[in-house]
Amino acid sequence: MKELEGRVAIVTGAGSPRGMGRAIVEALAREGAAIVASDVAAVEPDPIMEMTGYAYGADQGLDQTLDAAQGLGVPAIAVRADVTSPEDVERLVAEAVKAFGRLDILVNVAGGSWGSNRVGDYEPDQWLKTIRVNLFGAFLTTKFCLPHFEAQGKGAIVNIASVAAIRAHDMVSAYGASKAGLVQFTRDVAFEYGPSGVRANAVLPGDINTDMLAMEFRGMAMLSGASEEDLAEQSAALTPLRRLGQPGDVAELVAFLASDRASFLTGLAIPVTGGKELPFRQQH
């Protein structure tokens, strides 16, 4: 029997063609979990997305994510929902329970960064948009899943945060603040709902080779004159393992945290960075 057979998982942010959400769906499906894949129906572009001509996220790949899960032999449905809308999130959870009769796993992947600037120059609406999607969205999905977890005396939540939660970066204070808040929110959920059998953990990816990272490299290349390939190589060179992460590196950890093998693990914030958060040293 597969580790997650008989369990039902909601994965938000699952629509990006080469994203962590899709990789997580596939990892959970390989372990037998029924899948509820979700993403927003349309994404509001930010200046970087407009400059590079690419809109990551939204649901352009959600049907393919659904096909991938079903191709692994598990039942799966797709639900378009905006994680910042209480009505959408309540509907998402209701559709999951209606389709499968239960709910066991929540993976909050939906997120992004709207705007990039020094703190004093940030547009307030861009700062708030980032906080709403990355932090408020995770609150809403958790809020509506918790009654089902409590009723059955068991549930696993995995929040995709970022190494930006524990390291300072230029020009992305909203993103870093939202992800740091998500880590603390994870701890609070673990503390409050542990007696009900609910576990909550956070994963902190570093530079993962996704559509979102490719868009960032493209934008940096347009501004700096460097090539996207050079920027990727520079990022890898600052990582002790000397490579970019792959979506599967994150997905395998998520599948473990959702399983009974991690039954005594809760309230953790685990970097998946190849060691990039370690103190910098001059490369030789």
Catalytically active residues, by annotation:
175
Which segments within 109-244 are labelled E, that is strand?
A: 155-160, 198-205
Instruction: Answer whether 107's CB lies under 8 Å from 150's CB.
Output: no
Is the torsion defined by CA of 235, 239, 241, 242 positive or negative?
positive
Say whether 262 sits in a helix, a strand or coil: helix
Between CA 279 and CA 101 the distance in angstroms is 47
Q: In this structure, which amino acid lies at residue 98?
A: K
Instruction: Output the DSSP codes for 5-29.
Output: TT-EEEESS---TTSHHHHHHHHHH
Between CA 92 and CA 6 the distance in angstroms is 19
Instruction: Answer whether 88's CB lies under 8 Å from 139's CB.
Output: no
Pairing of strands 198-205, 269-272: parallel
Between CA 111 and CA 140 the distance in angstroms is 13
Exposed, middle or buried: residue 267 (CB in 10 Å: 0-12, 13-18, 19+)?
middle
Nearest to 203 by CA among 60, 65, 56, 23: 23
Between CA 188 and CA 92 the distance in angstroms is 23
